[in-house]
Structure 1
Amino acid sequence: MSNPVYLALDLPQLDAAKALCEQVKGHIGGVKLGLEFFCAHGHHGVHEIAHCGLPIFLDLKLHDIPNTVAGAMQSIHVLEPAIVTIHASGGRAMMEDAKAAAGEDCKVVAVTMLTSLDERDLERTGVGGTPHDHVMRLADLAQDAGLDGIVCSGQEIASVHDRWKDGFFVVPGLRPGGKATADQKRVVTPRRARDDGASVLVIGRPISRADDPLAAAKQIEETL
């Protein structure tokens, strides 16, 4: 992959999302469309963004019983996504069925721990151990289930990459300055994540909310 940056294009207005994609498409490698975008614009919105000519990453974080998740995966075949996310916490059977139902050229990756969570949040939900421990457990489960890879923060990517050499790893919550902002708690810089083994770098607000999105995208690209 020549440019690992996928722009998180979760804008409420479809026209604005299309315009931003066209503006920066020469300096990103793909587009991530999340739950907010999909709920607002559905299949039509995905088809419209696909006109930009970039790979589409559907970050839907599917999490339900195995049969339901498999059905959801089949329903998005027509969108031809390059990547789709599911939740590793859905269990091995759910992950196996999701992968079996995915399109031939679609990578299925499991979300381990959201970058908006930290150790205290884990404790409150009854999960013991550190974020690192939790991510590694779920990464092992995803690998055993036959998935292509996982989603994790840049703080765990080096350890996961050491254990899963041929995995496909998506890292969100990236900040060019490396400092936590807004609802993101466990962040690193795009350069560090890439050096540690990230396959895809998901970057949203540092580009989409920049005064000059094109300049911001170019600047991030230059650091890689």
Structure 2
Amino acid sequence: MAQDQMHQDQPLIVALDFPDGASARAFASRLDPRLCRLKVGFELFVAAGPALVEDLQGRGFEIFLDLKFHDIPNTVAGACRAAAGLGVWMINVHACGGRAMMTAAREAVEGAAHRPRLIAVTVLTSMDAADLAASGIGRGLEEQALFLAGEARAAGLDGVVCSAREAPMLRRALGADFLKVTPGIRPEGSASDDQKRVVTPGQAMGDGATHLVVGRPVTRAADPLAVLEAMNREIAAARGT
């Protein structure tokens, strides 16, 4: 089966929040690419670089390169072009960088041999209403998320990173095909850690999320495959499949 066919309906993305490539590779060897995609973020990419991404892709995993680019349009365009050259499945930018920056990012990846999905971060799930107000934003959480998601859609992006709590609103406003990638996913009964807005996989899918990012409930599990299988069953039930 072709890799794209194998992954096209897989919404789970495991965050490889490890400090070095050896730890990430060791953990990835315990996973099955049929059960999840993988997310490589700041710390791991700085420590291990493109070689890790290429290695994980060689093992059959599709990669969400979560570097949240945010700079002047030309710089972000160059970074997105370089990321697309790695053949990753998804990359992201900060929507608060503005429509011109997001448009430049989208134009930069259009000609890639394997065009990645390009999404934008709206409001970080580590933030609550008080945090947003303290940062000088006058809009409430939902209003700010909707505004930034609309800017991303206007710039031609594929979707956004958002809280699952905003997913129903974004689905109504921007359509079911606009990707909604939701961190802060925790299986029933697990700790919320540093995420302030969390939901279960079934709740998130029912609310309109298209992809779910999960970290410590999988990476700290004694049997990560069993956790992934249980989460996939919950997602299938929520989808009615």
What's the TM-score bracket when you normalise by the shorter of the two chains? over 0.9
Question: What is the distance in 2 between the residues matched to 1:150 and 1:176?
Answer: 22
Q: Percent identity?
A: 43
Question: What is the distance in 1 between the residues matched to 2:233 and 2:25?
Answer: 24
Closer, same or farther in 2 for the Cα pair 1:178/1:132, shift >3 Å? Answer: farther
Contact map agreement 1:2 1:29 (CA 8 A) in 2? no
Match for 1:189 among 178, 200, 203?
A: 200
Contact map agreement 1:152 1:172 (CA 8 A) in 2? yes
Question: What is the distance in 2 between the residues matched to 1:31 and 1:178?
Answer: 23
Establish whether residue 167 from structure 1 lines up as the match of residue 178 from structure 2: yes
Match for 2:134 among 124, 131, 134?
A: 124
Q: Which amino acid aligns with 2:179?
A: F
Q: Residue in 1 aligned with 2:239?
A: none
Deviations 1:12-42 (A, max 9, x none): 2323312322322255231111111111111
- Counterpart mapping for 1:68-217 below 5 A: 68-102=75-109, 103=112, 105-165=115-175, 166-177=177-188, 181-217=192-228
- Counterpart mapping for 1:19-30 below 5 A: 19-26=26-33, 28-30=35-37
Distance apart, 1:164 and its partner CA:
1.2
Question: What is the distance in 1 between the residues matched to 2:130 and 2:204?
Answer: 24
TM-score by length of 1: 0.95
Contact map agreement 1:64 1:90 (CA 8 A) in 2? yes
Question: What is the distance in 2 between the residues matched to 1:115 and 1:101?
Answer: 27
Question: What is the distance in 1 between the residues matched to 2:108 and 2:216?
Answer: 32
Unaligned segments of structure 1, at least 5 residues: none
Q: Which amino acid aligns with 1:33?
A: V
TM-score by length of 2: 0.88
Q: Alpha carbon RMSD of aligned pairs, Å?
A: 1.5
Question: What is the distance in 2 between the residues matched to 1:178 and 1:145?
Answer: 39
Match for 2:66 among 49, 59, 64?
A: 59
Contact map agreement 2:36 2:228 (CA 8 A) in 1? no
Question: What is the distance in 1 between the residues matched to 2:190 and 2:155?
Answer: 34
Question: What is the distance in 2 between the residues matched to 1:9 and 1:53?
Answer: 15
Contact map agreement 1:27 1:221 (CA 8 A) in 2? no
Q: How many residues align?
A: 224
What secondary structure does 1:201 align onto? Answer: strand
Question: What is the distance in 2 between the residues matched to 1:168 and 1:86?
Answer: 14
Question: What is the distance in 2 between the residues matched to 1:20 and 1:66?
Answer: 36
Question: What is the distance in 2 between the residues matched to 1:173 and 1:74?
Answer: 28
List structure 1 runs of 4+ shifted beyond 4 angstroms. Answer: none
- Which shifted more, 4-13 or 179-188? 179-188
Q: Which amino acid aligns with 2:228?
A: A
Question: What is the distance in 1 between the residues matched to 2:17 and 2:150?
Answer: 30
